[in-house]
Amino acid sequence: MLVLQDIPLGRSGVGHSFRPGAITVVLGRNGSGKTRLCRLIAGLEIPASGRIELDGVDVTRLAPGKRSVALVYQAFVNYPNLTVFENIASPLRAARRPAADIRARVGEIAERLRIGELLDRFPAELSGGQQQRVAMGRAFAKSARVLLLDEPLVNLDYKLREALEFELRELLHAADMTVIYTTSDPRDAFNLGDEVVLLERHRIIQTGTPLEVYERPVSARAAGLMSDPGVNLLPEDGALTVVRPENLSLAAPDVPSRMFEMAVQGVETNGSETYLHGLVGGAHWVARLDGLARIAPGERVRLHAPRDAVLAFAEPVDG
């Protein structure tokens, strides 16, 4: 088990226990501390205070090469002058493994990552998705107990990213490692995560399963991190009302609900969904509706949300 005890990401320390064999998605916006968290765990930065334990051993000040930790960045790096085989084999050669063991291990990893037919190619001959798999293969070859994936799919196009995510979840569970996957996209938490850790301004604000955190956010910030697009906010009676775009509809539901009037300013649609942008009580809101809604900018519409989907928090609107 990987345990962080009062490790300073910013002014305050963070603590968390990452379960072995589980995928923990660390979800936060740019600048929230995700990459620094990975660097601290990998040993690329040494914390001024606190403690990092791996399987009960204090590794806080161990050099990166002495930790059983592998790190894959979003800007994945492969050795351009080495073939795919040699890229994946490089940690095994550094560990002085026998040649037969190297061939067997590289072949196993390549088949698992579905790049077995690419072993003789060079990185420049590969697609972005294939290059990312090579980088992950090299991390797998290290046989580390902890795998850090710092937004590894962010540079890939949406369709490729979506396809890889479902494969990646199966691969990571089969590797039986403690996996920490950082992202700014809540879809990654649902598609990949056994657990999600919400990081905001260098602090952990909530943890739990993705569904738990989505259904029972502890604050408007937590709700916003788990929503794409972000949540709608409306100050009311000294509290902050929060409604997710997907919980709004033009028709009143068959359950107790609340109605909000929107002055529509813009409309986006792809045929299967329509996004309304407009003002509700002076605040900018977004409604995500099913199907094609024939509404024009300038219209006023009534939007309905089930009452149990309307959240309220006692906190100010401070961005």
Note the pLDDT of residue 317: 47
Give the pLDDT of residue 96. Answer: 92
3-state secondary structure labels for all residues of 9-43: CCCCEEEEEECCCCEEEEECCCCCCHHHHHHHHHC
* pLDDT digit string, tens, across residues 236-257: 988 999 999 999 999 999 999 9
For the cut 50, the answer to whether the pLDDT of residue 40 exceeds it is: yes
Q: Strands 178-183 and 195-200: what pairing? A: unpaired
**Alpha carbons within 13 A on the beta-carbon side of 217:** 22
Q: How confident is the model at residue 309 (pLDDT cuts 50, 70, 90)?
A: very high
Length of the chain (residues): 319
CATH number belonging to the domain at 2-215, selected among 3.40.50.300, 3.30.465.10, 3.40.109.10, 3.40.50.2300: 3.40.50.300
pLDDT tens profile 4-21: 999 999 888 999 999 999
Band of residue 28 on the pLDDT scale cut at 50, 70, 90: very high
Task: Quick: pLDDT tens for 147-201.
Answer: 999 988 776 777 777 777 777 888 888 878 899 999 999 999 999 999 999 999 9
* Token pair of 209 as six digits: 């399963």
Please tell me the class of the 229-313 domain: mainly beta
Residue ranges of domains in the chain? 2-215, 229-313
What is the share, in percent, of the chain residues with pLDDT greater than 90? 76
User: Residue 316's pLDDT band (boundaries 50, 70, 90)?
Assistant: low
From residue 313, how far is each of 138, 142, 152, 211, 236 by CA, in Å?
A: 45, 46, 34, 19, 10
What is the average pLDDT across 218-226? Answer: 95
* pLDDT score, position 260: 98
Cα distances (Å, whole numbers) of residue 192 to 28, 168, 172: 15, 8, 9
Write down the pLDDT at residue 25.
Answer: 97
Residue showing tokens 């028709």 = 251
Asked if pLDDT for residue 85 goes beyond 80, the answer is yes
d(CA 160, CA 212) in angstroms, rounded, equals 28
What percent of the chain is predicted at pLDDT more than 70? 97
More confident residue, 269 or 77: 269
How far apart (Å, rounded) are the C-alpha atoms in residues 167 and 146?
19
In this prediction, residue 130 carries a pLDDT of 86
Tell which wins on pLDDT, 301 or 130: 301
**pLDDT tier at 319, thresholds 50, 70, 90:** very low
- Which pTM was predicted? 0.89
Closest CA relative to residue 130, chosen from 185, 167, 176: 167
The model's pLDDT over 99-144, given as tens digits with 9 standing for 90+, comes to 999 999 999 999 888 899 999 999 999 988 788 889 889 988 988 8
pLDDT of residue 315: 64
